[in-house]
Structure 1
């Protein structure tokens, strides 16, 4: 083994193991959005559920129950969120032809193909580790509900699993 490889092996972190009874708790949060496109942090509401739950160490699975909105981790700085909104408009423009919006090809009356496509890019599930009864997030990380077809009522299902 070379010195470089040996250094990498020696630098491995200590593995902490915990034992206990496996527990699961779940709930569904409801959020009303106000704009067609908006991003809002739902971190506080998720953190409250995790901190009140029976799991000290595990994972919280966050699932958005919709196809025209998404979930992402990022910071909530206003200029950045504006840039993200602009990025989505450039990636998936709202004012172009989509088959989903064409009454000859689709029964969709909302004309929201752009919202579906943006949600595909973002995704609608996140898994966040839980240690000592708290979500493990970086300094600037927030769970953002990204609305692409508002205003709407959005449901976010949470499942907390672990010991």
Structure 2
């Protein structure tokens, strides 16, 4: 069994942002040489998520509206966590959207269903963040 590890780095200029990282993950898979196995993609920060869904602008806007209803950024005073920081909403949004995605690798390719793409979703940006890509297989 072979193991391959790569980090993707992000520093979004906005507090929240969504990035399609499918091509980055495919590049890591190609670099690994692994043809059959599993790939784990996970956010290495507690205020960011990795998930799989459709790359459709209306859906992306729906996420933003829905998450803001569930865990509004302001007023900051509504959260016990906020004191030194103002990012309690980012922690809650990450919990809702999840930490990681796992994808099967078949014949050297991501074994996706129709329309599936991998996304990095940042909820407390403007600083360096990482995503781990870990591939195991043969």
Aligned residues: 136
Range 151-160 or range 64-73, more displaced = 151-160
Corresponding residue number in structure 2 for 1:131: 106
Whole-Å separation in 1 of the counterparts to 2:8 and 2:73: 28
| Correspondence 1:100 to 2:81 | yes
Q: What is the CA-CA distance between 1:110 and the residue it aligns to?
A: 2.8
Q: TM-score, normalised by structure 1?
A: 0.79
Please report the RMSD computed on the Cα atoms of aligned residues, expressed in angstroms. Answer: 1.2
- Does the CA-based 8 Å contact 2:43-2:50 persist in structure 1? yes
Whole-Å separation in 2 of the counterparts to 1:138 and 1:153: 31
Q: Over residues 6-58 of structure 1, what are the superposed CA-to-partner deviations in whole Å (9 max), with x where a residue is unaligned? A: xxxxxxxxxxxxxxxx1111111112212111111011000011022121100
| Correspondence 1:140 to 2:121 | no
The 5-angstrom pairing of residues 44-83 of structure 1 reads: 44-83=23-62
Structure 1 gaps of 5+ residues are: 1-21, 104-108
Whole-Å separation in 1 of the counterparts to 2:85 and 2:118: 27
Q: TM-score, normalised by structure 2?
A: 0.93
Match of 1:160 among 130, 135, 138: 135
Q: What is the CA-CA distance between 1:62 and the residue it aligns to?
A: 1.0
Structure 2 gaps of 5+ residues are: none
Report SS of the residue matched to 2:72: coil
Higher strand share: 2
Report SS of the residue matched to 1:99: coil
Higher relative contact order (CA 8 A, sep 6+): 2
Report SS of the residue matched to 2:91: helix
Structure number with greater Rg is: 1
